[in-house]
C-alpha cells in the first residue's frame, strides 16, 4: 500500500519526506502554496491528454480569475499550478505525472514506463495522457502533490526537459530559493526534522549527496530560465 506523509506547507517550508511503498523518499517544497497530500477521500483526478495540457497552458486557464469559455477545453486547475508542478517535478525528475511514457529522456530498463511498455507509445505525443493529476474536491483550482518519489541517479545530460515544455512562467518565491546562497543550509535544516528519512540515506553524508544533485539541477534550471526567457512572477493564488 502506498502511503504519503501529509503536510500543510507554509512559506518557510523547503523539504520534507514522504513514504512511497513503505520507503521514505524526498519531497522538496520550493513554494509555500504547494499542497502535498495523501490519496484520501475527497480528492479528484483531472484527466487530460498532453495535447489538451499544452492547449490549456496557452490559454492561461483561470488566470486573473477569468472564467474560461465552456468550449475552451480548460480543466479546473489554475494556470499557475502547472508552473509550480513543472518546477517541482524537474528538480526531482519525477516523470510519472507529466511524462509517464518517459518520452523526454532515456529511461532505464527498470523504469516503470519501460517495464509496462509505455515508452513505446511516444510516437503520438498529443494523445498521451497525464497521470496522477489530483486536486481536493473542495478546492478544484489547486493541485495536490502525491506519489513524489524523486530520481537522483539521472545525469545532467539526460534530464527530462519535457517536464518544462509549454511553461512560460515560474514562481518567483521558488526561483528565489533556488538562487539563494543558503539553499543547502535550509535543505539540511528541513530534512533533519525527519529523522526516518535522514537515517535511511545514511545520515548527513548521504543527505549531502542528494543536495548536491538538487543544487546542480537548480543551476541547470536557472540557465534554462535565462536561455528561454522564462518569466519569474508572483504566484500566490
More confident residue, 32 or 137: 137
pLDDT band at 76 (very low <50, low <70, confident <90, very high): very high
pLDDT band at 210 (very low <50, low <70, confident <90, very high): very high
Strands 43-45 and 169-171: unpaired
Question: Looking up cell 510516437, which residue turns up?
Answer: 123
Distance of CA 200 to the CA centre of its chain: 22
In the predicted model, what is the mean pLDDT of the chain? 83
pLDDT band at 197 (very low <50, low <70, confident <90, very high): confident
Q: Are 144 and 85 in contact (CB under 8 A)?
A: no
C-alpha to C-alpha distance for 155 and 213, rounded to whole angstroms: 9
Amino acid at each position: 500500500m502506498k502511503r504519503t506523509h501529509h503536510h500543510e506547507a507554509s512559506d518557510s517550508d523547503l523539504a520534507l519526506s514522504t513514504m512511497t511503498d513503505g520507503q521514505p523518499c524526498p519531497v522538496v517544497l520550493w513554494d509555500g502554496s504547494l499542497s502535498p497530500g495523501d490519496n484520501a477521500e475527497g480528492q479528484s483526478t483531472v484527466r487530460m491528454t498532453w495535447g489538451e495540457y499544452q492547449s490549456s497552458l496557452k490559454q492561461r486557464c483561470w488566470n486573473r480569475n477569468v472564467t474560461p469559455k465552456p468550449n475552451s477545453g480548460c480543466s479546473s486547475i489554475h494556470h499557475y499550478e502547472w508552473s509550480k508542478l513543472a518546477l517541482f517535478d524537474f528538480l526531482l525528475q519525477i516523470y510519472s505525472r507529466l511524462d509517464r511514457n518517459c518520452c523526454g529522456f532515456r529511461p532505464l530498463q527498470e523504469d516503470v514506463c519501460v517495464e509496462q511498455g509505455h515508452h513505446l507509445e511516444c510516437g503520438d505525443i498529443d494523445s498521451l495522457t497525464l497521470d496522477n493529476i489530483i486536486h481536493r474536491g473542495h478546492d478544484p483550482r489547486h493541485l495536490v502533490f502525491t506519489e513524489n518519489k524523486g530520481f537522483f541517479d539521472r545525469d545532467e545530460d539526460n534530464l527530462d526537459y519535457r517536464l518544462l515544455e509549454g511553461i512560460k512562467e515560474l514562481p518567483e518565491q521558488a526561483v528565489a530559493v533556488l538562487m539563494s546562497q543558503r539553499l543547502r543550509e535550509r535543505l539540511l535544516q528541513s530534512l533533519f526534522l525527519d529523522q526516518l528519512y535522514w537515517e535511511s540515506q545514511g545520515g548527513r553524508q548521504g543527505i549531502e549527496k542528494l543536495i548536491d544533485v538538487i543544487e546542480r539541477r537548480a543551476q541547470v534550471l536557472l540557465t534554462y530560465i535565462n536561455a528561454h526567457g522564462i518569466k519569474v512572477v508572483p504566484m500566490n493564488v
